[in-house]
């Protein structure tokens, strides 16, 4: 009962699949070997099916999974499909032996498909046991996975004539073992948990019990009942010595890993003091790295924390020292794990801060090939090229950033400074690429919507009107000059009305905000910024493009510690400070789509990226 409550409240989709398959196996076992009347078995099967159906329909997580599938949409299954593609490609490259146990995480981004977009950028395991075993063990892993179910079938076939004659307790035990193992085999298609000792240990115990039952009361003869004292290396002693050797090897292997973890934990505690002790942190994390140099986690944490310290330090000499140290640690992490976009991107930003744009270009180039849809990579690449006076390549890189992330064209970074001078060339390149893409894909609605939003932003209202009429709701036309609002109750219409009714500005602003963010009300600071910038702007068009509040933040690498199998350090943030137009991000998402997963979209953009890569390859390695 506790397990059923736990399953329902956690809403494990794999758990429900395993339960469904286990129920079918239990029904089949009872039908073939139980002494219960068939009528009652059929009745129990119907009731169980009905109860499972009710649970699915009344559980939001299961309902939201099943209904989209019935409508032809995969929703939350998309990231599993991405993981399956990664594992499939990894296994094909290492079909005989696999990539090696534990290497799926380190090699993940090298095999991550272009079509993945911004979905499942990094992950520890591939969320499917057969996929994980194929990736890490090759054909032997698949043999183990599918051989296990064949093994269960063979054992049951051998026992088929003896089951009904078993003691009732043994028959129930046998049925329970089969139900549990086959149910877990089904669940394992949706997750990988064999690295969990508790789970793999229980599976081992159940298989041992099954083997004992399969002996059918025959004595065990593989080992002698009593060891032979005259034979020093008899079978029992060999088995015992073998087990001791295995445990000893595991202990020797784990000792430096556990010692490194202990040292790193002490180092992270030094950062959490009221006055952070960076010297103690560096000392302990360096020791952890020396104990387990194959783990990139310690190098990355040293590089990131020292990089943070460098960017916060006002003393130029100290800043230079910390920058150099941070870059060296990132380089060591990238050497241990060469296919990690995190390490490449962030050391590239440090190279820019250290006036090494050529080195930044090389690292951004690697990052772009690993996760091309990652926001900020092509922008950083453009900045590094601009610092080397390679203006045309810089324009191309930044244009590719905007094509993949249209909201970037509305960023306040374009309002002035050196980038403001580059803006016309970037806009021209972006619109030129849209012409090229739409010549190839004339009926693609996403491309038309992106071009329509950008056309409106840059003031090409004729083109914007063409796109608005065909690919947007009719209310979008109210954004064009001289047009009346067609939807007085839309959030954007309420926002526009704050200039027509300045005395109701606060009321209209809060209502417009509530339309799009009902769970997160305006903060006092945001309210003041909106009202102040509106008061200083003559009209809506000027405010939205020039005066709207700026939102600055740094994107966090969520799950960095968990995916690295560590819990002590902080999740890093990227060194790049994002600058966004708060009004655009809040109310204009349909005009500037922020695409997470659209395989067709990334395939359309990839030839443009490949063209830039080809040019950069000659620049980096002339």
> CB of 543 within 8 A of CB of 495?
no
Report d(CA 200, CA 219) in Å as an integer. 27
For 140-170, b/e burial (b = at least 16 CB within 10 A) is bbbeebeebeeebeebbeebeebbeebeeee
pLDDT of residue 313: 92
- The closest alpha carbon to 302, from 576, 572, 577, 575, belongs to 572
pLDDT over 70 for what percent of the chain? 90
Mean pLDDT over 561-589 rounds to: 93
Q: How far is the CA of 152 from the CAs of 189, 193, 277, in angstroms? A: 17, 20, 57
Q: What is the pLDDT of residues 276-319, one digit of tens each?
A: 999 999 999 999 999 999 999 999 999 999 999 999 999 999 99
pLDDT of residue 22: 82
Q: For residue 69, how many C-alpha atoms fall within 13 Å in the half-sphere facing its CB?
A: 9
Q: What is the pLDDT of residues 578-590, one digit of tens each?
A: 999 999 999 999 9
CA dihedral 319, 298, 344, 115 (to 10 degrees): -150
pLDDT of residue 157: 84
Cα 205 from chain centroid (whole Å): 34
User: pTM here?
Assistant: 0.90
Cβ atoms within 10 Å of 101's Cβ, excluding its own: 13
pLDDT of residue 62: 65
Q: Which residue has the higher pLDDT, 508 or 160?
A: 508
Q: Which residue has the higher pLDDT, 457 or 153?
A: 457
Query: If you ran DSSP here, which 8-state letter would residue 522 be given?
Result: P
Query: If you ran DSSP here, which 8-state letter would residue 552 be given?
Result: E
> CB of 128 within 8 A of CB of 191?
yes
pLDDT of residue 232: 62
End-to-end CA distance of the chain: 68
Q: Which residue has the higher pLDDT, 153 or 130?
A: 130
Among 124-128, 186-190, 436-440, the range of highest mean pLDDT: 436-440
- The closest alpha carbon to 82, from 109, 119, 107, belongs to 119
Report d(CA 272, CA 569) in Å as an integer. 10
Does the pLDDT value for residue 608 go beyond 90? yes
Rg (CA), the chain: 31
pLDDT of residue 350: 98
DSSP 351-418: HHHTT-HHHHHHHHHHHHHH-TTSTTHHHHHHHHHHTTT-HHHHHHHHHHHHHH-GGGGG-GGGGSHH
Report d(CA 244, CA 568) in Å as an integer. 32
> CB of 613 within 8 A of CB of 605?
no
Q: What is the pLDDT of residues 367-407, one digit of tens each?
A: 999 999 999 999 999 999 999 999 999 999 999 999 999 99
Q: What is the pLDDT of residues 312-346, one digit of tens each?
A: 999 999 999 999 999 999 999 999 999 999 999 99
Q: Which residue has the higher pLDDT, 196 or 230?
A: 196
pLDDT of residue 167: 76
* Residues whose CB falls within 8 Å of the CB of residue 95, separated by 6 or more in sequence, listed in order: 138, 139
3-state SS of 107-155?
Answer: HHHHHCCHHHCCCCCCCCCCCCHHHHHHHHHCHHHHHHHHHHHHHHHHH
pLDDT of residue 435: 97
94 confidence band (pLDDT: 50, 70, 90): very high
Q: What is the pLDDT of residues 28-74, one digit of tens each?
A: 877 877 777 778 778 888 888 887 777 767 767 666 666 666 666 66
* Average pLDDT score, the chain: 89
- The two beta strands, 578-581 and 550-553, are antiparallel
pLDDT of residue 6: 66
pLDDT of residue 261: 95
Which pairs with CB-CB distance under 8 Å and at least 24 residues apart come from 182-185? 182/21, 182/22, 182/25, 182/149, 182/152, 183/18, 183/19, 183/21, 183/22, 183/25, 184/18, 185/21, 185/148, 185/149, 185/152
pLDDT of residue 459: 95
> CB of 464 within 8 A of CB of 480?
yes
CA dihedral 248, 254, 256, 261 (to 10 degrees): -150
548 confidence band (pLDDT: 50, 70, 90): very high
Report d(CA 334, CA 338) in Å as an integer. 5
Q: Which residue has the higher pLDDT, 16 or 492?
A: 492
> CB of 437 within 8 A of CB of 450?
no
Mean pLDDT over 461-465 rounds to: 96
pLDDT of residue 272: 92
pLDDT of residue 418: 76
pLDDT of residue 55: 73
Q: How far is the CA of 161 from the CAs of 25, 150, 157, in angstroms? A: 18, 19, 8
Report d(CA 8, CA 2) in Å as an integer. 10
Report d(CA 498, CA 47) in Å as an integer. 60
Q: What is the pLDDT of residues 432-456, one digit of tens each?
A: 999 999 999 999 999 999 999 999 9
Report d(CA 504, CA 495) in Å as an integer. 11
3-state SS of 309-351?
Answer: HHHHCCCHHHHHHHHHHHHHHHHHHHHHCCCCHHHHHHHHHHH
Report d(CA 368, CA 377) in Å as an integer. 6
Does the pLDDT value for residue 131 go beyond 90? yes
Mean pLDDT over 511-519 rounds to: 90
Report d(CA 492, CA 173) in Å as an integer. 65
Does the pLDDT value for residue 117 go beyond 90? yes
> CB of 77 within 8 A of CB of 559?
no
Kindly give the residue spans of alpha helices, DSSP state H, lying in 36-128.
Answer: 38-58, 60-70, 78-93, 103-111
> CB of 136 within 8 A of CB of 102?
yes
> CB of 209 within 8 A of CB of 173?
yes
pLDDT over 90 for what percent of the chain? 62
- The closest alpha carbon to 210, from 149, 165, 164, belongs to 149
- The closest alpha carbon to 286, from 273, 302, 308, belongs to 302
Which helix (H) or strand (E) is 19 found in, with range?
helix 13-33
């Amino acid at each position: 009962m506790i397990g059923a409550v736990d399953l329902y409240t956690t809403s494990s989709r794999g758990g429900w699949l395993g339960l469904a398959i286990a129920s079918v196996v239990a029904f089949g076992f009872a039908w073939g070997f139980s002494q219960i009347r068939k009528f009652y078995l059929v009745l129990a099967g119907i009731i169980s099916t009905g109860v499972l159906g009710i649970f699915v329909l009344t559980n939001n997580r299961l309902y939201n999974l099943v209904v989209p599938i019935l409508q032809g949409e995969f929703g939350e299954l998309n990231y599993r499909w991405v993981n399956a593609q990664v594992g499939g490609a990894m296994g094909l490259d290492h079909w005989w032996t696999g990539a090696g146990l534990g290497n799926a995480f380190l090699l993940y981004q090298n095999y991550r498909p272009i079509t993945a977009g911004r979905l499942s950028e990094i992950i520890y395991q591939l969320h499917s046991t057969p996929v994980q075993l194929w990736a890490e063990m090759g054909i032997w892993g698949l043999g183990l996975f599918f051989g296990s179910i064949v093994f269960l079938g063979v054992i049951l076939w051998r026992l088929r004539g003896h089951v009904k004659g078993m003691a009732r307790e043994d028959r129930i035990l046998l049925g329970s073992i089969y139900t549990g193992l086959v149910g877990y085999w089904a669940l394992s298609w949706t997750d990988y948990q064999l690295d969990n000792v508790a789970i793999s240990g229980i599976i081992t115990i159940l298989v041992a019990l099954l083997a004992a039952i399969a002996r059918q009361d025959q004595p065990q003869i593989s080992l002698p009942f009593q060891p032979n004292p005259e034979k020093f290396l008899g079978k029992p002693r060999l088995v015992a010595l073998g087990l001791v050797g295995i445990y000893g090897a595991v202990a020797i292997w784990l000792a430096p890993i556990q010692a490194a973890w202990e040292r790193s934990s002490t180092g992270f505690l030094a950062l959490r003091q009221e006055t952070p002790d960076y010297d103690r942190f560096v000392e302990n994390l360096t020791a952890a790295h020396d104990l387990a140099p194959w783990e990139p986690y310690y190098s990355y944490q040293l590089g990131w924390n020292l990089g943070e310290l460098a960017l916060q330090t006002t003393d130029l000499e100290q800043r230079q020292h910390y920058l150099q140290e941070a870059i060296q640690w990132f380089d060591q992490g990238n050497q241990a794990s060469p296919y990690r976009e995190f390490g490449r991107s962030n050391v590239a930003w440090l190279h820019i801060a250290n006036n090494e744009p050529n080195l930044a270009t090389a690292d951004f180039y690697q990052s772009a090939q690993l996760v091309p849809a990652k926001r900020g990579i092509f922008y950083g690449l453009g900045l590094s090229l601009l610092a080397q006076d390679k203006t045309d390549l810089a324009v191309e890189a930044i244009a590719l950033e905007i094509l993949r992330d249209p909201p970037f064209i509305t960023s306040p970074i374009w309002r002035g400074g050196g980038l403001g001078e580059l803006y016309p060339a970037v806009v021209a390149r972006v619109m030129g690429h849209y012409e090229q893409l739409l010549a190839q894909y004339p009926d693609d609605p996403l491309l038309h919507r992106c071009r329509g939003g950008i056309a409106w932003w840059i003031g090409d209202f004729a083109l914007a009107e063409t796109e608005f009429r065909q690919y947007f709701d009719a209310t979008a036309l109210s954004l064009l000059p001289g047009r009346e609002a067609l939807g007085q109750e839309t959030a954007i219409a309420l926002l526009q009305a704050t200039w027509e009714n300045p005395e109701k500005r606060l009321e209209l602003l809060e209502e417009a905000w509530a339309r799009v963010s009902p769970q997160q009300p305006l903060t006092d600071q945001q309210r003041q910024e909106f009202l102040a910038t509106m008061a200083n702007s003559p009209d809506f068009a000027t405010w939205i493009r020039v005066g709207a509040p700026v939102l600055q933040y740094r994107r966090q690498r969520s799950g960095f510690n968990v995916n690295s199998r560590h819990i002590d350090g902080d999740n890093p943030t990227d060194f790049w400070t994002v600058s966004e137009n708060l009004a655009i991000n809040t109310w204009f998402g349909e005009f500037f789509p922020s695409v997470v997963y659209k395989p067709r979209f990334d395939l359309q953009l990839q030839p443009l990226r490949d063209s830039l890569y080809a040019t950069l390859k000659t620049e980096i390695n002339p």
